[in-house]
Chain A
Amino acid sequence: MNRAKLIFNQTLMISTAILFGMGIRTAILFVTAGEYMISWQWYIPLSIIAVGFLCALASLILYDDSATGKVNMRVRVCLHCILVLAIVSLSGHFFNWYSSLAEYLIIVIMYIIIYAFVWIATVWMLKVDEKKINDAISEIRDEE
């Protein structure tokens, strides 16, 4: 997969995840405070895509082919987590996604849940693929 396609796919996935998070937040507001209507500034949908794109750029540090070893990869995942949180926080401030510390903390909690969910889903899919490939290899493998 070339980098442009990778960034495009990541932008779509991250933008969808942000929309999902905002959807959950508005649903909670509806249940707890009975708010039926949500009004957004004109630039909010565009800001979601812009943040998705910036986070996709950050994910390039994970998909660097020169990265080898478990420790290196774990360090990169930690760096990625912090970098994406910084992008979300700064963009959120710039685009007025939050106006108080409490709202910011809700966004941080949403981010942590989504980030953890994405990694759990990714590792699960990788392990499913790994098992399928190993099963197929064992059928054609030469004898040692």
Chain B
Amino acid sequence: MKVTINKAESYENESAVINAVAVTDEIRNAVDILRNNGASIPVISEGDTLMIRASSIYYIESVDKRTYVYTKDDCHETKYRLYELEEILGVNFLRCSKAMIINIKKIRSVRAELNARLSAELLNGERLIISRGYVKDLKKKLGVI
């Protein structure tokens, strides 16, 4: 595939356009990497260290100074702090409360509550609360402000 890189004036103007006959696995991987979903983080599972792809993470929670990574069916501990994971995981992840980061792509739907919070239902059926103070960040990320 022919690859052309043009210099952008600022980081905000950076973008990638892919012209392809079909969306193959390679192209999906490339898109994942460009969107930072190609990132992986080490987690501890039953004493072993595993690498988990960002795209398989549903949400991350901090409890008693320990950080837990939740995938569709599993929960693993990681040594990273939430603020570090926010930087590593990139644009598809959103801080939804003081102790939680959520993968926006794993949200099935949200429901507004009377106190201006959002109740988010994930693809695995779990429900999480997006605190009032972080709803604006979600809207910004989704481009609905």
Kindly report which residue of chain A lies nearest to residue B97, judged by CB atoms: A65
* Interface residues of A, dominant DSSP: helix
Q: A63-B132, A137-B104 are in contact. Are A130 and B110 (CB under 8 A)?
A: yes
List, in ascending order, chain B residues with CB within 8 A of A67's CB. Answer: 115
Tell me whether A123 is interfacial, beta carbon within 8 Å.
Answer: yes
Q: A136-B143, A137-B142 are in contact. Are A62 and B115 (CB under 8 A)?
A: yes
Cβ A141 vs Cβ B105 within 8 A: yes
Partner pick for B118 among A73, A77, A133, A140, CB 8 A cutoff:
A133
Cβ A1 vs Cβ B132 within 8 A: yes
* Interface residues of B, dominant DSSP: mixed
Tell me whether B75 is interfacial, beta carbon within 8 Å.
Answer: no
Kindly report which residue of chain B lies nearest to residue A74, judged by CB atoms: B114
Tell me whether B3 is interfacial, beta carbon within 8 Å.
Answer: no
Tell me whether B107 is interfacial, beta carbon within 8 Å.
Answer: yes
Kindly report which residue of chain B lies nearest to residue A64, judged by CB atoms: B115
Smallest CB–CB gap between A5 and chain B, Å? 10
Kindly report which residue of chain A lies nearest to residue B110, judged by CB atoms: A133
List, in ascending order, chain B residues with CB within 8 A of A62's CB. Answer: 114-115
Cβ A133 vs Cβ B133 within 8 A: no
Distance, CA A130 to CA B117, complexed state (A)? 11
Q: A63-B116, A130-B111 are in contact. Are A142 and B105 (CB under 8 A)?
A: yes
Tell me whether A82 is interfacial, beta carbon within 8 Å.
Answer: no
User: Interface 1/0s, chain A 59-93, versus B by CB < 8 A?
Assistant: 00011110110000100110000000000000000
Distance, CA A54 to CA B135, complexed state (A)? 26
Smallest CB–CB gap between A32 and chain B, Å? 37
List, in ascending order, chain A residues with CB within 8 A of B108's CB. Answer: 141, 144
List, in ascending order, chain A residues with CB within 8 A of B113's CB. Answer: 73, 126
Distance, CA A77 to CA B113, complexed state (A)? 12
Cβ A133 vs Cβ B105 within 8 A: no
Tell me whether A127 is interfacial, beta carbon within 8 Å.
Answer: yes
Distance, CA A76 to CA B92, complexed state (A)? 34
User: Interface 1/0s, chain B 117-136, versus A by CB < 8 A?
Assistant: 11000010000010111010
User: Interface 1/0s, chain B 133-145, versus A by CB < 8 A?
Assistant: 1010011001110
User: Interface 1/0s, chain A 119-144, versus B by CB < 8 A?
Assistant: 00011001101101111110011101
Can you list 19 A-B contacts with CB-CB less than 8 angstroms, sorted by A residue number?
A64-B115, A68-B129, A73-B115, A76-B115, A77-B114, A126-B116, A129-B112, A129-B139, A132-B139, A133-B110, A133-B138, A133-B142, A136-B142, A137-B104, A137-B142, A141-B105, A141-B108, A142-B105, A144-B123
What 4 new A-B contacts, CB under 8 Å, besides A137-B142, A140-B104? Answer: A133-B110, A133-B118, A133-B142, A142-B55
Interface residues of chain B, those whose CB is within 8 Å of chain A, are: 55, 92, 104-118, 123, 129, 131-133, 135, 138-139, 142-144
